[in-house]
Every structure is written in C-alpha cells, then in structure tokens.
Amino acid sequence: MKVLVISGFLGAGKTTFIKQMIKATNREYVIFENEFGDVSIDGEILKKSVNQDKTENEEINVWELSSGCACCSTKADFMSSLLVIDNTLNPDFLIVEPSGIALLSNILNNVKKIGYERIELLAPITVIDAQTYFKYKSKYAEVFLDQIRVSTHIQLSKTENLSDDEMELIADDIKTINNTANIYIADYHKADTDYWNSLFSGELVKPDSDEIKLVKSKMKNVTFKDANIRDMRAALFFLDKIIFNYYGEINRGKGVFKTPDYNIHFDLVDKNYSMYFSQEEAENSVVFIGPEIDKELLIKELEEMGEIII
C-alpha cells in the first residue's frame, strides 16, 4: 500500500484537489480524512463527490478521526488504522488528508516509524491557497512553513484572480523556503494525465491507461450541529458579519444550514465565501476555525437563528 499525504493550511483546497485527482486519474483510493473540530465536513463532501459517478456497490472508503489530530492525542489510533486499512482493504493507494493545522513533518515521521514493509510513503504534496499565501505565511508561520519545507510537490490553488507576475512572485518566495520542491502554478483542473503522472513520480497513474502539533495557542474551533436558518438573505447577513469580524477573527468556516425549503452549503476562507443550494438530505452542521472567536456570541446567534424557523 502506497501512502500519499496531501497537506495544506486551512481552506487551501485539499479536498477539491483530491476530488480532481480521483476524476483525472480514474484510480481507486482509500481516503483517510482527519478534521480539526467535532464535525467532519470534508469527509461527507468526499463521500458524495466521489460516489456520485459510481454504482451503489462501488463506494469509496473514507476513514475519519474527528477528535484531535491524526498523530497527536490519537496517535496510536492513526498508526494502527494504517495497518488495519492495509490488511483489510489492501488498497493500492491510501490518501491521508490531515488537518490543515497539523505539522506535516510529524505526520511523515510517524508514518515512517511504522516500519512495515508493505507500507510505502510517497513524496508528500502541499496545496497552497495563493490568495492568502503571504498573510498566512506571516500569521501562522510555524505550521505553514513546515508544510512547505518538507513537501516534495507544491501546488498553488485559487489562482484564477492572480496575474502571472503575482503567481511567479509567490513561487519565488516558496523557493526561498524550499529550493528543491517542484512548484506548480498552472490550474490543475485543466491538466492532462501526464501532469498527474509526473506530479506523483509515476506512482499514481499507470503508464497504460514527537506528536503532531496543533496551533491551539492560535486556533480555536466552534462546531454547531442542527444548524437552521430562515433563508438565503439571513445566511448572507450572517456570513457578512463573520468576514467583518463581528464574532472575532475567523479564518475558516464550512458547513450546511437547513431552511424550511432547501439546504444552504457554504465555504468561507479568510474574507471570501461561496454558497450553493440543494434539496437532497444533508447533515446541517457547521464549523468555524480562527485565532479569536467569541464562542458564546456565535453559539447564541446560531441558536436564535434556528429558533426563528421552528
């Protein structure tokens, strides 16, 4: 079993990258998903997006740890889970997507410590949100720089609004941190099979066809289940208050609000957010992460929004 660790800071686009990788390579994977928070949002996204083009009997396996980080307080569970996955599912590839605020170097060290000849660790990949690169590099240097230093491959994401000069500036800055990494600035959504094969050193695509450290001193998380809201206008007002720091400084938010008529899915990174609507069943849970959150106020307003439509 080949283990591929795909890291990236909060909101970098790891899940989107994995979804595109699966679509482009047409290979089978097991994904080991680890969230920082009590609600695992990305695991559900991966399950649905990967399975939407498969039959009922071809579901991909998503293993999750939502209490702490994969190699931190639950280190033994993480290491034993790798062995269980190998011995029971025996996949060609295990994709490990760690929490965005985990030290990549410690994750790699803990995989290496397993010392099991059937498990091979591939060169790690880090996905970087180009729009927040300089801000997060300065604000969360301990984790952010570690992810860059120990990665073999670095892929820029969310570059659609940046000029070539701006992307080159980021790439040049990355080289001052890790001058041996392969840096990719082109949009991977448009890449062909050769790109994926070169990115993963020919392993991912067939030619033919001490403990992980969380930045708890800087990061807090607030999770809320059974999140209900009146309508889209109320959701927009709520998200606008977040980006204007009404509840404190929140860098990342994701989840699903339920209205009487439809679900509102939102994804917030720094000062930007996106939304879409759906009618299908979805777990209406939300999670917010940031260095300074007024948890009492945030929970109070989430509860009040739900009471309005009950």
Any idea what the CATH number is for the domain that residue 225 is in? 3.30.1220.10
CATH number (domain holding residue 67): 3.40.50.300
Residues 30-81 have pLDDT tens digits of: 888 765 444 454 555 555 555 555 444 344 455 444 443 333 333 446 677 7
Residue ranges of alpha helices (H) inside the chain are 14-25, 41-51, 75-88, 104-113, 133-139, 141-149, 164-177, 193-199, 232-243, 295-309
Residue 215 lies in a domain: no
Residue 185 lies in a domain: yes
Instruction: Judge if 113 and 258 occupy the same domain.
Output: no
Instruction: Judge if 149 and 178 occupy the same domain.
Output: yes
Instruction: Judge if 226 and 162 occupy the same domain.
Output: no
What confidence category does residue 111 fall into, taking pLDDT thresholds of 50, 70 and 90?
confident
Give the rounded distance of the alpha carbon of 155 from its chain centre.
14
Query: Residue 239 is part of which domain span?
Result: 220-308
Residue 213 lies in a domain: no
- pTM of the predicted protein model: 0.70
Residue 98 lies in a domain: yes
Instruction: Judge if 191 and 52 occupy the same domain.
Output: yes
Residue 113 has pLDDT above 90, yes or no: no
On whether the CB atoms of residues 220 and 289 are closer than 8 A, the answer is yes
The Cβ of residue 173 has, within 10 Å, a number of other Cβ atoms equal to: 13
Residue 206 lies in a domain: no
Residue 88 has pLDDT above 60, yes or no: yes
What confidence category does residue 101 fall into, taking pLDDT thresholds of 50, 70 and 90?
confident
Residues 130-151 have pLDDT tens digits of: 999 999 999 999 999 999 999 9
- Domain count along the chain: 2
Q: Which amino acid is residue 309, in one-letter code?
A: I
Instruction: Judge if 238 and 189 occupy the same domain.
Output: no
Residue 236 lies in a domain: yes
- Whole-number pLDDT of residue 133: 95
Instruction: Judge if 66 and 147 occupy the same domain.
Output: yes
192 against 7, higher pLDDT? 7
Instruction: Judge if 175 and 224 occupy the same domain.
Output: no
Tell which residue, 227, 288, 295, 220, has the closest CA to residue 253.
Answer: 288
Residue 163 has pLDDT above 70, yes or no: yes
Instruction: Judge if 186 and 287 occupy the same domain.
Output: no
Residue 263 lies in a domain: yes
**Spatial separation of the C-alpha atoms in residues 295 and 219, rounded to whole Å:** 12
Tell which residue, 139, 230, 237, 125, has the closest CA to residue 184.
Answer: 125
